[in-house]
Structure 1
Amino acid sequence: MAAAAQTVAAGPASVSLRMGSYSACISTAPDIRANALALRSQAFRKGSADEDAFDTFSLHGVVVRAPDKPVVAFRARVLQGAADLARCYTGQVYDLGPLASAPGPCLELGRFCQSDGPPDVMALRLAWAALSVLVDSTGTRMMIGCSSLPGADPEPHRATLSLLRARHLGPVGQRPGKLSPLAVDLPDDQDTDAPLPPLLRSYLGMGGWVSDHAVRDPNLDTLHLFTGLEIAAIPEPRKARLRALAQVARQGDANPLDVAPAAP
């Protein structure tokens, strides 16, 4: 894997939101990074450390539920142009050349995870609201990343991969090319209903799309697909709800139940 770019791309020093017993922050601060890495270690490594060279040059995001329980974590990088795209985490396993000529920065979102137990809907909403602040403040035109399915063997995921090929492929001129020797084509089977992981479902629900191939990751025992989301493609009502939630959360004194209907 190539070395990560040696800078954190331009962006706000931090994003900080608070709502009732929840707080969300995106930052390079050591305590935010430590909280994010701790949750990632549980989600991806069963307690072993989950850290790589890209963490040094990324913003880290965490949503904490009082008193001090991290419930959502992720990392993000603002990428400017072809050089950043080639050196980012996603660019090590997908050829992102087709995206390089479009104007404006991309935001790479990775290692998105949740704590054990049922999904915490309010925490997820606040995470997306914080990301919307980052997107707006950096002028991001597109979010990119890898959406994972549990288990590196593609065969158990055949129905899901077939559904994605039938309904959610990206535009021909923007889909990344194959770069990894562990790439597998999405099967062209009969279109059937199949389960989708929450993060990928969120991307697709906002207008996102996937690559025409997946990549096996034996290290994390996952199968992942490139996922792209053009900010202009997000339905305006959805963007308005996220921005409204972020605005309320900046005040830090709202009851989550009062604003839950305003979030996606």
Structure 2
Amino acid sequence: MGKHKRSTAVAADWLAVTPYIHRAGTLDVRLATSSEEIEAAQALRYQIFYDEMGAAPATHMLASKRDIDDYDAVCDHLLVIDHGEDGRPHVVGTYRLLRQVVAQLNRGFYSAGEYDLSPLIETSKTSGQLLELGRSCVAPDYRNNATISLLWRGIASYLQTHSIGFLFGCASLHGANAGAHAAELSYLYHHHLAPPELRARALPEHYVPMGVLPPERFDARAASKALPPLIKGYLRVGALIGDGAFVDPQFNTTDVFVVMPVERITKRYAGRFDVAGDAN
């Protein structure tokens, strides 16, 4: 690991007395229980979002080599930890989790800065609590089924513990030129648009139309194939898409809103996600 990078290592003695959710070989998945673990997750996020994917860090992030925002303090942080790398445990995968009850007591949902969540929040009153997923990333050498399956086994356990009805968040296509993704966005709009009661809409000042091409103007199969692996994985478990894209110049992405009714997610799909990174 280069000297310019902040370490993703965490203390072995602390991990030895904290519970993990699942384990596979040298890897386990658990919720962060210390500031050191959260900082290691932030360091991994920085390596993926800024060093690898070219996002533009704020000055304080550049100095610390950590991806940090105000939501970190109120979210749960799901970690995949490798206990076999160079003799020290390292965080090699992470997801940030924000429950509705926690969001309502604090800053609201992160996605509310990009999308109007009113329909989803109204539906949640009778259909189960919301859980926002964000800041997902996996270290390059760990982008395999073992790591992804552990992350999703951790999420599945979390869903059960907290009686979650819907997962949601923003997923990204690389690049801040929405026009370059016209076929993919049109495919999502025409084939996977959420029903009105679940359909978050990009805020007016950020709204980028998605269905710019009619179905006969693009190859649906090619557009589907061109989607990032994470979005394809979400769609396989029945994810639905909100209305309007959001261009995020800081992260050099074009974001779409994704909502997943928990009842659609079954065990047979748990290992079918592929995550490099999603900053939202």
CA distance in 2, matches of 1:22, 1:165: 38
* Residues 1:84 and 1:239: Cα distance change in structure 2 (over 3 Å): farther
Name the counterpart of 2:113: 92
Q: Which runs of 5+ in 2 are unaligned?
A: 1-17, 52-61, 273-280
**Which string of whole-angstrom CA distances, capped at 9 and with x for unpartnered residues, describes residues 57-105 of structure 1?**
1011121232334332120011139946981101121110001222321
* Residues 1:114 and 1:42: Cα distance change in structure 2 (over 3 Å): same
* Residues 1:156 and 1:171: Cα distance change in structure 2 (over 3 Å): same
* Residues 1:89 and 1:14: Cα distance change in structure 2 (over 3 Å): farther
How many residue pairs match? The answer is 229
Name the counterpart of 1:63: 80
**Percent identity (aligned):** 28
Q: Which of the pair is proportionally richer in strand?
A: 1
Conserved in 1, the CA contact under 8 Å of 2:92 and 2:138? yes
Which residue identity is paired with 1:50? D
Conserved in 2, the CA contact under 8 Å of 1:166 and 1:188? no
Name the counterpart of 1:52: 69
CA distance in 2, matches of 1:85, 1:174: 23
Conserved in 2, the CA contact under 8 Å of 1:108 and 1:145? yes
**SS of alignment partner, residue 189 of structure 2:** helix
Q: Does 1:182 align with 2:241?
A: no
CA distance in 2, matches of 1:14, 1:105: 25
In the TM superposition, residue 18 of structure 1 has moved relative to its aligned partner by 1.3
Q: Does 1:205 align with 2:210?
A: no
TM-score by length of 1: 0.79
Conserved in 1, the CA contact under 8 Å of 2:97 and 2:132? yes
* Residues 1:151 and 1:84: Cα distance change in structure 2 (over 3 Å): farther
In the TM superposition, residue 117 of structure 1 has moved relative to its aligned partner by 4.9
Q: Which runs of 5+ in 1 are unaligned?
A: 1-12, 243-262
* Residues 1:28 and 1:201: Cα distance change in structure 2 (over 3 Å): farther
Question: For the aligned residues, what is the CA RMSD?
Answer: 2.4
Name the counterpart of 1:239: 267
* Residues 1:118 and 1:80: Cα distance change in structure 2 (over 3 Å): closer
CA distance in 2, matches of 1:54, 1:82: 9
* Alignment of structure 1 residues 189-228 onto 2, 5 Å: 189=213, 190-192=217-219, 193-194=222-223, 195-228=226-259
Conserved in 2, the CA contact under 8 Å of 1:207 and 1:233? yes
Name the counterpart of 2:35: 30
* Residues 1:240 and 1:29: Cα distance change in structure 2 (over 3 Å): farther
CA distance in 1, matches of 2:238, 2:133: 16
**SS of alignment partner, residue 185 of structure 1:** coil
CA distance in 1, matches of 2:200, 2:232: 20
CA distance in 2, matches of 1:84, 1:185: 32
CA distance in 2, matches of 1:109, 1:180: 23
Pairing partner for 1:127 from 146, 151, 157: 151
